[in-house]
Structure 1
Amino acid sequence: MKSREARLTTDIVAPLAGTVVALADVPDPVFADAVVGPGLAIEPDPPDETLGAVRVVVVAPCPGRMISVYPHAVVISMDADRAVLVHLGVDTEDLATACFDVAVVEGQEVVAGQPLLAWSPECVRQAGRSAICPVVALQAEDDDLVPVVEPGDRVTEGQRLLAWR
């Protein structure tokens, strides 16, 4: 593993528009206690109905290779030492066919901002689940991440969220 000083800082961008939430406020102890790593979460905005949208597009938060692709979550590996998890909602694994449409496959190379999937936060909420989306830096220590935004801030898709050094 490269030391933090030996690697470049990489920006992690918001995979969707919404309101930033502290990871500690995610209603799941695995995320809230940072068991899988530090990060932030986003409470998603509804789809833009003025454009006829019924689903929210989720984009890659960083460049890399898709190492895990599920309808409700993706993991992108930036290099041997760093990977980012985007999890759509809490306890959403069983809602795959109803709420999510995947546009990428495992092994695929992606660039930051590239569409990965589309989903319906409203479908998740109607199933009685939280639609909050943790964005987690796997294999990271707390001091590896520098938040660029604060809980309560509104972010747009593709806006800088974290700097991973």
Structure 2
Amino acid sequence: MTTVLAPVAGSVIGLAAVPDPVFSGGLVGPGTAIDPRRGAAEALAPLDGTVFKVHPHAYVIVGADGRAVLVHLGIDTVRLRGEGFRVLVREGEQVVAGRPVVAWDPAAVEAAGLSPVCPVVALEARPEALRALAAGMVRAGEELFLWD
């Protein structure tokens, strides 16, 4: 079993509420989403593992068991071309759950006319493999869901 932590603090809204059909339709994979608190923050590693891919607006961490979790910081934020984001790790680097990966400001994303909602997706997982999804408010680093 893999415990996936909340990479950001905010309100858990679920993937169905993400304003992007690729995420809300579960096309990327199952998971949940967080509407983050506004203000400068650091997005954290959701599990222990290796930084497989890191962009200013999104990253994938792969655990020792091969399970990969995607964290996407906002919707369509690739359009910001990295502005307002600061990558704090390198691809291939080992990280522990809770380590800061990207510094960003959800309020700046919103001010740019984009949604700051953060999908957290278990890549290549079956929907029924996820359980104990958090609800309501979460703090960064708290348990978000379990992946059987």
Name the TM-score, length of structure 2 as normaliser: 0.96
* Aligned ranges 1:25-44 → 2 under 5 Å: 25-44=17-36
Per-residue deviation, 1:127 = 1.2
* Aligned ranges 1:72-111 → 2 under 5 Å: 72-79=57-64, 81-111=66-96
**Structure ID, larger Rg:** 1
In structure 2, C-alpha distance between the alignment counterparts of 1:71 and 1:105, rounded to whole Å: 11
Q: Which residue of 1 aligns with 2:112?
A: 127
Identity of aligned residues (%): 47
Per-residue deviation, 1:79 = 3.7
Name the TM-score, length of structure 1 as normaliser: 0.86
Q: Which residue of 2 aligns with 1:113?
A: 98
Letter paired with 1:46? R
SS of match in other structure, 1:97: coil
Q: Which residue of 2 aligns with 1:159?
A: 142
Letter paired with 1:157? A
CA contact (8 A) 1:16 1:157 kept: yes
Q: Which residue of 1 aligns with 2:129?
A: 144
**Which consecutive segments of 4 or more residues in structure 1 shift more than 2 A?**
none
CA contact (8 A) 2:44 2:98 kept: yes
Is 1:19 aligned with 2:11?
A: yes
In structure 1, C-alpha distance between the alignment counterparts of 2:14 and 2:71, rounded to whole Å: 15
Q: Which has the higher helix share?
A: 1
Q: Which residue of 2 aligns with 1:10?
A: 2
CA contact (8 A) 2:57 2:82 kept: no
CA contact (8 A) 1:68 1:74 kept: yes
Q: Deviations over 1:32-70 (max 9, x none)?
A: 0010100000000123xxxxxxx2111100011011100
CA contact (8 A) 1:81 1:139 kept: no
In structure 1, C-alpha distance between the alignment counterparts of 2:81 and 2:41, rounded to whole Å: 15
Most deviating of 77-86 and 100-109: 77-86
CA contact (8 A) 2:31 2:120 kept: yes
